[in-house]
Every structure is written in C-alpha cells, then in structure tokens.
Amino acid sequence: DTAVSQTPKYLVTQMGNDKSIKCEQNLGHDTMYWYKQDSKKFLKIMFSYNNKELIINETVPNRFSPKSPDKAHLNLHINSLELGDSAVYFCASIAGGGGAFFGQGTRLTVV
C-alpha cells in the first residue's frame, strides 16, 4: 500500500497547455510539500501545506497553483506551461520529528 502516491508518473504536453498533478498520502500527516527536481537533480521546495493551509510559497510563478481539498491530498495545477517547467515534480508528506516520505515523482516534459 503506497504511502505517498502521485499521478500521473509521466506527463508530456505542449507549451501553453494547463495540466494537473495529483498527490495523496495515507500516512495521516498534516504537512505536505511539492518539490521540483531539475535536470541536475537539484531539489527546490515549491510549496508546503499544513492541514490544508498554505504555509510556504517559495516565490513560484503564479502559473503554479497548489490545492489541498483535505490534509491527505495536495494537488498541483500548472497554467500556460513553458519549456522551463520541464522537470520531475515530487510530492512529500512530513511527520513531526522530521523525515519526509516522497512520492515516485511526475516527470513533466513540455514540448
């Protein structure tokens, strides 16, 4: 039973399109994150939600809009996709005391 699951695993789309990535965790954690991993494997934090409330927004373009319908879900919607958005996006769920549990990632390719 997957602790943090993301869908889809791969996403190929054209510039200008709008797409969403879904994330669900069954660990009962209150805090979830979105990270972006670029081609050099650098992991950059994008957003963090705690119990459905946004607590961290790392100056991400407003084309990116996270939505948390409940504390087990944190979805990422991206408008007007650009070539530079191509990356692997990871969802993570974090427990108090540290330690993040990551999803398998969504590889987004914008063509």
Residues contributing to the site for another protein (CB under 8 A): 4, 29-31, 33, 35, 40-43, 45, 48, 50, 55-56, 90, 92, 94-105
Residue 31 beta carbon to another protein: minimum distance, rounded to whole angstroms: 4
Find the largest Cα–Cα distance for the chain.
Answer: 41
Residue 23 beta carbon to another protein: minimum distance, rounded to whole angstroms: 11
Residue whose CB is less far from another protein, 8 or 79: 8
Q: In the chain, what are the helix, strand and coil shares in percent, each to the nearest 5?
A: 5, 60, 40
Residue 79 beta carbon to another protein: minimum distance, rounded to whole angstroms: 25
Q: Which residues of 86-107 are buried (b: 16+ CB within 10 A; e: fewer)?
A: bbbbbbbbbeeeeebbbbebbe
